[in-house]
A and B are shown apart, each in its own frame.
Chain A
Amino acid sequence: MKKLIFQLAVMLLIMAAIWAFFTQIDFVKILRPQQKLEQGEKKLGELLLNVYKMQSERIDDPLNDAYLNSILEPLFDANDIDPQSISIYILRSDAVNAFALPGRNVVLLSGLIDFVDGPEELIAIIAHEIAHLEADHVMRKLRREIGITALLSLVSGNYNLDLMREIASLIATNSYSRVLENEADKLALDYMYAAEIDPMALVKVFMLFAESFGSVPQQLQWISTHPQSVDRADRLEMLLAAKPSKSYRTFDRQEWKQFKTRLQAFNP
């Protein structure tokens, strides 16, 4: 028995030594796995975005983009998020929905912007989608639901339009797991709190969706992809109550109205 334990100990020591030896090699620098993953995600994001653009017209208005950038600037600044790394697209659709895409893209449907009451609520939704991106929820969901092999074949150019449509639909209409949604909720709340943007706006969004659900269920896609709204609003209120109170910045309502008017009137 002593011999057995001795040999086991020596074997484990040798394995540890080999492992320690190999850790001296900077594999991450040589193989650059993160950069390769990001490139693949970016390509997948572009492919999916093209599918959405085929289905819905993009509202590409520099004035609207400038407005979005201005209201999101505090959020990015306060949370050390590079605004250049995130692309936000507005697509014309009656559906009330927003979703994050691989490659750090966020898609807002114009129906959602029409639906929310103010810029804080729009920021809250965008913050929630950015939280999904920052926590790598989008790719984790795709890897789980589509599979790594399928994703690799997609980014290597081996794909068909039907499959891309299927994935696009999966992203737009399927919810994340409850754990991931809670994580994104909490992150979004923290982002807003740090940026001095009233985090209650996120609570209001969930309440607004919960109240409106049933009146226009076909169009309220965001609620179907973000279930248990009342529970989540309650949870967020509890999280917020635990934070020290502070004053929050205000946003110009006139600019918000102009933004919405420009969206409705946009004609390429």
Chain B
Amino acid sequence: MSNSLYTIKVNEHDAEKASNSYLMSMVAIMAGLGLPLFNLIATFIFYMANRKESYYVRWHCTQALLSQLLLVLTNGVGFAWLMSILFGGNVFNNHFFAYLAMLLAINLTEFIATIITAIKTRKGGHIEWWFLGALTHLLVQAPQPDQEETFVA
């Protein structure tokens, strides 16, 4: 995670929205929907609802959505692998269990990073995740210099 790229003027409303985008996946877990797919759906709904908000909010909604997308993809591979064992001809082996252990590590890291980012953004801070931050910059259109929202390097 990185937080040194921008100094962003963030108002209270934006900070709350950005923080909530990360909290959406937590809300889904707390609601008993532990499957990453529900977290993805929750963050996607939140992203859709806030895509007209400020750059700061859109940026963090996108990063939160991408983080859940990454989790769904990696967990999906594990799920497909398990299904191939249960319904196909594959067997349980050390590679499969190692992948599950790796998934646990990724999910735990993502969970902790989500909490830290939610707290930081709530205070108006900015955290860019490794790779996902760069990808978010590519996907979210930055505002023009003459627009109200400004970024100070």
A residues with a Cβ closer than 8 A to B are 1, 3-4, 7-8, 10-11, 15, 18-23, 25-28, 31, 33-34, 37, 135-136, 140, 143-144, 148
Contacts and interface: CB of A to CB of B under 8 A. Distances in A.
Contacts of A148: 86
B100 to A, nearest CB: 8
Contacts of B94: 23, 25-28
Contacts of A11: 130-131
Interface of B: 74, 86-89, 91-95, 97-99, 101-102, 105-106, 130-131, 134-135, 138
Nearest to A135: B89
Given A22-B99, A27-B97, A143-B86, 9 more contacts: A11-B130, A15-B102, A18-B101, A20-B98, A22-B97, A27-B94, A34-B91, A34-B92, A140-B86
A19 B131 contact: no
Contacts of A8: 131
Secondary structure of the A side of the interface?
Answer: helix
Interface centre among A11, A27, A136 (most CB of B within 10 A): A27
A136 B89 contact: yes
Contact of B99 (A7, A19, A28): A19
Contact of A3 (B86, B89, B134): B134
Contact of A19 (B86, B87, B102): B102
A1 B138 contact: yes
A114 to B, nearest CB: 36
B92 A33 contact: yes
Contacts of A3: 134
Contacts of A136: 89
Nearest to B82: A148
Nearest to B85: A33
15 contacts: A7-B134, A10-B131, A15-B102, A18-B102, A21-B98, A22-B97, A23-B95, A25-B101, A27-B101, A28-B93, A28-B94, A28-B97, A136-B89, A140-B87, A148-B86
B6 to A, nearest CB: 15
Contacts of B92: 28, 31, 33-34, 37
A140 B84 CA distance: 10
B134 A4 contact: yes
Contact of B105 (A18, A34, A143, A144): A18
A201 to B, nearest CB: 27
A223 to B, nearest CB: 26
Given A7-B130, A18-B105, A19-B102, A143 B97 contact: no
Contacts of A15: 74, 102, 106
Nearest to B91: A34
Contacts of B131: 4, 7-8, 10-11
Contacts of B98: 19-23, 25, 27
B146 to A, nearest CB: 26
Nearest to A17: B102
Contacts of B138: 1, 4
Contacts of B99: 19, 22
Interface centre among A15, A21, A23, A37 (most CB of B within 10 A): A23
Contact of A22 (B93, B101, B130): B101
Contacts of A135: 89
B5 to A, nearest CB: 11
B46 to A, nearest CB: 24
B3 to A, nearest CB: 16
Contacts of B105: 18
